[in-house]
Structure 1
Amino acid sequence: MCMVMTVAVAGASGYAGGELLRLFTAHPEFTVGAITANTSAGSTLGSHHPHLVQLADKVIQPTTPEVLAGHDVVALALPHGASGEIAGELPAGTLVLDCGADHRLADPVAWKQFYGTEHPGSWPYGLPELIRADGGKQRQALLNTRRVAVPGCNVTAVTLALAPGLAAGVVEPEDIVAVLANGPSGAGRSLKTPLLASEIMGAASPYGVGGGHRHVPEIEQNLALAAGAPVSLSFTPTLVPMSRGILATVTAKLTSTFTGELDGTASAGVRNAWDDAYADEPFVHLLPEGQWPTTAATLGANTAHVQVTVDERAGRLVAVAAIDNLTKGTAGQAVQCANIAFGLPEMSGLPMTGVAP
C-alpha cells in the first residue's frame, strides 16, 4: 500500500508527545501536520524537544478540535480527563489514538473509583499482543477501527509478563504480585518535587502503594480477559534513577497441574505457554533460558523482553518483562495500533533495536 497520511499530535511538548513525533517522523506512510499544546502554545517545538531537529521550527498551536481536524490521525498525549471532550468533536473517520487513560476501562464503577469523574466510555483497547482466554488476540479488535485507547505503560509490562500463563492455565488468577522499577518520564514532564533530579538520583522510592495506583483496574481488566475469570492483584511501582524504562517482576501461584510436577523440570513445561503466545509476535521476545530482561536492551525500541521461570520452593511462577515506557509503553504502541487500523505492515516505522549501554 502506498499512501501518505497526515498526523496531528496534541500534547506535543510533553515526553509522550515528543516520542510520538519521533516515531511518526520516521514512518514512511505518515507526515506530521499540526502539533499542539496548551501552556507552550506559540513556542517552537525545538525549544522543548531539541532532538527533533526535523521539526524544530514548527510552531506549537493551541489544542482545539479546529486545529486537529482535517488530519487522518490525531494522537492525544494529554492528561486524563482532557481527551474525551476533544475526541467527541473530531470526525468519525479520523483515527484518534488516545494515549491518556480516558477510554481504557470498560467498567464505569472502576473508573469512578480511581479517577473520580463520570465514565467517558471505552474504546477498542490498543494492546495487540494481549492474549485472551479463548486463545484470540486483541489485535483483531483493532482492524479498521478509528478509535484506540492506548494502554498504560505499567499495564503493558505486567500484562505481557503474565497473560500467557493465565490464558494457558499455568497460574492461578488469585494472589498475583507485581513489583515494578520505573523511570520518572512515565509521570510526564510537569514539575513535581519527587521527580527532581536531586530527589531521585541515588534513590529508589515506591509510590501508589497499597492498591491506589490508577493502573490497577486496567491491569486487572487485562489479566481477567486472559484468565477468563476475575483476578486479584497486588501492584507496587518503584521510582528508580533512570530516565525511561520499566522492569516488571510478576509472580503468581502455579496451578495444581504444575505444582504436582515440581521435580526440577517444571520450568520447561511452563515456558511453553509463553513460547506459544509470542512465537509469531514481532515486538515481544521470550528470551533464551537463563537470559534476563534489562531496560537498556529495550531503550528506544518498540519491544518487550520477557523471561519466565519457576520458584519451586515457593510454588510460584516468576515472570519478568522490560519495556521502554515511552516507546512500547506509549508512543510506539500507538503507532503499532495505527498500522493495524489502516492495514499497514505492523512493523512499519517502528524501531526494533534498543540502545545499549
Structure 2
Amino acid sequence: MKYRAAVAGATGYAGGELLRLLLAHPNIEVGAVTAARSAGSLLGEHHPHLVPLADRVVEPTDAEHLAGHDIVFLALPHGASGEIAARLGPDVLVVDCAADHRLADPAKWQHYYHSDHAGTWPYGLPELPGQRDRLAHTKRISVPGCNPTASTLALLPAVTAGLISCDDVVVVLATAPSGAGKKLATTYLASEIMGSATPYQVGGIHRHTPEMEQNLIACGAADPHVSFTPMLVPMTRGILATCTARLSDPSITADDVYAAYQKAYATEAFVHLLPAGVWPQTQATLGANIAHIQATVDPHTGRLVAIAAIDNLAKGTAGAAVQCTNLALGLDETTGLTTIGVAP
C-alpha cells in the first residue's frame, strides 16, 4: 500500500533529511513540500542533493496545502506545530518533529518554553518500555529531541535493570550545529565553530532537561534529577552523549553492566552495543538510523559511565520520525531505514 506524505518545513535540515529518507521508502510517496519564508522557490535551491525533488515548488505552510495527505510531517520551529496540527483532521497521521507535544507536564513546558502547552502526543522513542504499543496505529506522534534520544538510549538498560540511582545523573553532550536548524546566527558561523568547542545553556536551563527526566521515569526511575551540559563542536552532524550516574550497589561490576545492556538491546534493530572496550564515534553513525552504545563502571567513584553516538538528523530526528511512522502504519519498523553509516 502507498501513502502520500507532506513535509512542512521542507527547506530546513530536518525537513531535508525527512525527504531524503522518504525518497527511499517503498510505501510512502512525497506529496506537498512546504515552508514559510522560502515558499515559491524551488526545493533544489535549498537541497541540491535531493535531485528527484529539485524541481518541486515549495508551497506555503498552511492547512490548505497540507490537506489531502495520509501523513503530514511537521519539521517546524518549536511553538509552531500546535496551531497547524489542530487544523488537520483526526484521520491524518501527524508526526511532529518539534518539541510542542513531547512533555506530559504543562507546567514544565511553560517553564522551559515560555508559551502555552499544545498537549501531549504518543512519544516517538520505540525503545522505551511499552512504547511500541502506544505508537501502533496512532494518528499523532511526537518525535523526541535528539539530545534526549542519545542520553536515554545510553542509560535505559541501567535504569530498567536497577543498576543506578537516578537522583544524580550527569549528561555532558557534544552536538553538531545542524541540531539548531538553518537559522542565521553568529554562534553557528564557520569562523566561530571551527577549531573550538563551546558549552551553551549551562546550569540546568536547556529545554531538553525535563524531557530527559521524563524518559528516565518511563524507564522506571522514581524521581530523577539530570544535570545536562551541552557543547557545540565543529562537526556538521552528530551527537556524542557521555552519561554518568551513581551505582545502586557498589558491588556492581563492568561485566554486570555489559550483560544488562546485551539483554536490553539484543533484539533492537536500531541500537548497536559495541564490543566491550570499544567506544562510540559519531562518524560511524553518519546518515544511519542507529545508536552506537557502550557502558562500563568507574570503580573509583562508584559510577556508571555510558556513552551513545547518534546522527542528530537521522536517529535523532528524521529517522526516528520514519521509524515511528512505520509502527503507526502497521509496517515493519525497519522499512526504508538503514543502520549503515557513511564513512569516512
Identify the TM-score tier after normalising by the shorter chain.
over 0.9
Identity %: 63
How do 1:186-335 and structure 2 match up within 5 A? 186-256=179-249, 259-261=250-252, 266-335=253-322
- Return the letter of the residue paired with 1:218: E
Match of 2:328 in 1: 341
**Residue 177 (1) aligns with residue 170 (2):** yes
Distance in structure 2 (CA, Å) of the matches to 1:308 and 1:164: 10
Distance in structure 2 (CA, Å) of the matches to 1:277 and 1:76: 31
Kept in 1: contact 2:152–2:212 (CA 8 A) = yes
SS of equivalent to 1:6: strand
Match of 2:53 in 1: 55
Distance in structure 1 (CA, Å) of the matches to 2:41 and 2:268: 40
Match of 1:134 in 2: none
Distance in structure 1 (CA, Å) of the matches to 2:240 and 2:53: 32
- Return the letter of the residue paired with 1:83: S
How do 1:36-75 and structure 2 match up within 5 A? 36-75=34-73
Match of 2:109 in 1: 111
Kept in 2: contact 1:9–1:34 (CA 8 A) = yes
Distance in structure 1 (CA, Å) of the matches to 2:277 and 2:140: 40
Residue 227 of structure 1 deviates from its aligned partner by 2.6
**Residue 163 (1) aligns with residue 156 (2):** yes
Distance in structure 2 (CA, Å) of the matches to 1:235 and 1:356: 29
Match of 2:75 in 1: 77
Distance in structure 1 (CA, Å) of the matches to 2:220 and 2:201: 25
Kept in 2: contact 1:178–1:234 (CA 8 A) = yes
For structure 1, the residue ranges without an aligned partner over 5 or more in a row are 132-136
Distance in structure 2 (CA, Å) of the matches to 1:112 and 1:272: 40
Distance in structure 1 (CA, Å) of the matches to 2:342 and 2:299: 35
Residue 275 of structure 1 deviates from its aligned partner by 1.2
SS of equivalent to 1:349: coil
Match of 2:14 in 1: 16
For structure 2, the residue ranges without an aligned partner over 5 or more in a row are none
Deviation track 1:188-243 (CA, whole Å, cap 9, x = no partner) reads 00101100000000000001100010000100100112134110110001000000
Residue 290 of structure 1 deviates from its aligned partner by 1.1
Deviation track 1:276-327 (CA, whole Å, cap 9, x = no partner) reads 1111000001111011100000000000000000011110000000000000
**Residue 5 (1) aligns with residue 28 (2):** no
Residue 138 of structure 1 deviates from its aligned partner by 1.2
> Root-mean-square deviation (CA), in Å?
0.7
- Return the letter of the residue paired with 2:128: L
Give TM-score, length-normalised by structure 2. 0.99
Residue 111 of structure 1 deviates from its aligned partner by 0.4
SS of equivalent to 1:227: coil
Distance in structure 2 (CA, Å) of the matches to 1:27 and 1:147: 20
Distance in structure 2 (CA, Å) of the matches to 1:319 and 1:228: 17
Residue 271 of structure 1 deviates from its aligned partner by 1.5
* Shift >4 Å, 4+ stretches: none
Distance in structure 2 (CA, Å) of the matches to 1:307 and 1:228: 21
Distance in structure 2 (CA, Å) of the matches to 1:88 and 1:326: 26
Kept in 1: contact 2:200–2:230 (CA 8 A) = yes
Give TM-score, length-normalised by structure 1. 0.95
Distance in structure 2 (CA, Å) of the matches to 1:87 and 1:116: 20
Kept in 1: contact 2:33–2:57 (CA 8 A) = yes
User: How many equivalent pairs are there?
Assistant: 344
Match of 1:32 in 2: 30
**Residue 144 (1) aligns with residue 106 (2):** no
Kept in 2: contact 1:173–1:227 (CA 8 A) = no
